[in-house]
């Protein structure tokens, strides 16, 4: 088709359109260029395009492209952003594709701009007139930080595809389960004073010491009470990640903060896990009224599970040649699932290469991914009735 790049060229253009997401303002970039690039390709392929600005972001957009009409169909989804990079650890320019050792090196090759190059490639072989049900392509913003794009999309859309595939790097294995993720800051407000007169102050570090003891007991309680053997870490986790408090040896510490992260199992809501935390800290909160608060550091990502048995999972297992599995990292799947579609995560490349210097996608993924996408589109859009 005219004006449509070959696979390598599409990948090159996607990688060299930087769209880094970061909570640090000096790293964070808009994604307008890559959204426009994708829109122009899918428009040429006959899709109708809608672009939505994602609120509370630094100029970020989602793109939804639709080919064909009617209800149901297949949604292919991914995020348009990447993580930042550590330039001096890369052996090539991260913002350009370098082909070496039968691999494409570049930031986002596997996580996950490459997936869009595969979709474009597959769609070139399609005739819109063949479709009985629609094919959707979704590119989201800010997956690597807040998941603001997928969150907003799921709240504002009324499309209802039958099935959805999120093309995160899973070596093409269908992922049907992952944990949730949330981060909180526990703040202890004490009362500073001269260290020679302890009775005049309230030492925030001493209270935090008791908070930590409580959290370690909670960690054991979670491990003992909740298990899912589909995961290599079979229980919910609680990590003490960062602590700061006080300023001088001769002052009573007036303020102490502890950042923790918790990962829930499927079937456990965010609220359930947060209640476990607040219940555990309740005796201390009563002992020190008004001194202990819990703040959310960023919006939580729910856990995800596509329930079995599912014809869609069986199809994905059959067409990919891989058994379905669980992973430890979080994705946009729980948000996409709220559209009402059966949802899996399945894409080319390995998570082991994601968020790493010298990220790559192997040439060996090309044929497999192309065939898998064509087969999925054929099943859910062309032969569907």
Which residues make up the interface to Zn ion (CB under 5 A)? Answer: 111-112, 168
Beta strand 74-79 pairing with 163-166: parallel
Instruction: Give buried/exposed letters for 131-146 (b at 16+ CB in 10 A, else e).
Output: bebbbbbbbbbbbbbb
User: CB of residue 87 vs Zn ion: minimum separation in angstroms?
Assistant: 20
Instruction: Please identify which of the residues 28, 81, 142, 144 carries the catalytic annotation.
Output: 81
Quick one: 73 or 167, whose CB is closer to Zn ion?
A: 167
Instruction: Give buried/exposed letters for 53-69 (b at 16+ CB in 10 A, else e).
Output: ebeebeebbbbbbbbbe
User: CB of residue 7 vs Zn ion: minimum separation in angstroms?
Assistant: 20
CA–CA separation, 90 vs 15, rounded Å? 15
CA–CA separation, 385 vs 39, rounded Å? 28
User: Helix, strand, or coil here: 153?
Assistant: helix
Virtual torsion, Cα 385, 305, 362, 366, nearest 10 deg: 0
User: CB of residue 361 vs Zn ion: minimum separation in angstroms?
Assistant: 13
Quick one: 168 or 365, whose CB is closer to Zn ion?
A: 168
User: CB of residue 332 vs Zn ion: minimum separation in angstroms?
Assistant: 9
Quick one: 21 or 235, whose CB is closer to Zn ion?
A: 21
| Cβ-proximal residue to Zn ion, closest one | 111
Active site residue 352: no
Name the CA radius of gyration of the chain, rounded: 24
Quick one: 82 or 315, whose CB is closer to Zn ion?
A: 82
Quick one: 112 or 147, whose CB is closer to Zn ion?
A: 112
Instruction: Please identify which of the residues 28, 111, 143, 305 carries the catalytic annotation.
Output: 143
Task: Retrieve residue 270's tokens.
Answer: 């965010």
Active site residue 247: no
CA–CA separation, 162 vs 305, rounded Å? 16
User: CB of residue 168 vs Zn ion: minimum separation in angstroms?
Assistant: 5
Q: Residues 106, 357: contact at Cβ < 8 Å?
A: no
Residues with catalytic function: 81, 143
């Amino acid at each position: 088709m005219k004006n449509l790049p070959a696979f390598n060229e599409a990948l090159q253009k996607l990688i060299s359109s930087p769209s880094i997401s970061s909570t640090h303002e000096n790293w964070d970039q808009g994604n307008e260029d890559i959204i426009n690039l994708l829109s122009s390709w899918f428009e040429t392929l006959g899709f109708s395009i809608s672009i939505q600005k994602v609120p509370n972001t630094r100029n970020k957009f989602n793109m939804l492209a639709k080919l064909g009409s009617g209800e149901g169909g297949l949604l292919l989804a991914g995020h348009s952003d990447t993580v930042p990079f550590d330039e001096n650890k890369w052996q090539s320019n991260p913002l350009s594709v370098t082909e070496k050792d039968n691999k494409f090196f570049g930031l986002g090759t596997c996580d996950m701009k490459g997936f869009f190059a595969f979709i474009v490639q597959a769609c070139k072989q399609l005739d819109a007139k063949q479709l009985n049900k629609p094919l959707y392509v979704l590119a989201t913003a800010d997956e690597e930080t807040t998941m603001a794009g997928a969150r907003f999309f799921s709240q504002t859309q009324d499309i209802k595809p039958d099935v959805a595939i999120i093309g995160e790097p899973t070596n093409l294995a269908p992922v049907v389960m992952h944990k949730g993720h949330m981060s909180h800051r526990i703040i202890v407000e004490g009362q500073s004073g001269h260290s020679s007169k302890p009775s005049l102050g309230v030492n925030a570090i001493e209270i935090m010491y008791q908070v930590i003891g409580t959290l370690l007991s909670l960690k054991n309680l979670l491990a003992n009470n909740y298990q899912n053997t589909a995961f290599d870490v079979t229980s919910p986790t609680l990590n003490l990640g960062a602590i700061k408090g006080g300023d001088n040896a001769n002052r009573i510490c007036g303020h102490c903060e502890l950042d923790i992260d918790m990962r829930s199992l499927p079937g456990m809501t965010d609220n359930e896990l947060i209640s476990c935390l607040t219940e555990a800290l309740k005796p201390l909160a009563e002992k020190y009224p008004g001194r202990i608060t819990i703040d959310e550091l960023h919006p939580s990502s729910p856990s995800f599970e596509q329930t079995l048995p599912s014809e869609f999972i069986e199809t994905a297992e059959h067409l990919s040649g891989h058994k379905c599995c669980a992973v430890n990292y979080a994705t946009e799947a729980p948000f996409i699932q709220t559209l009402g579609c059966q949802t899996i995560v399945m894409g080319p490349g390995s998570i082991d290469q994601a968020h790493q210097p010298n990220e790559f996608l192997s040439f060996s993924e090309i044929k497999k991914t192309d065939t898998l996408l064509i087969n999925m589109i054929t099943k859910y859009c062309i032969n569907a009735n």
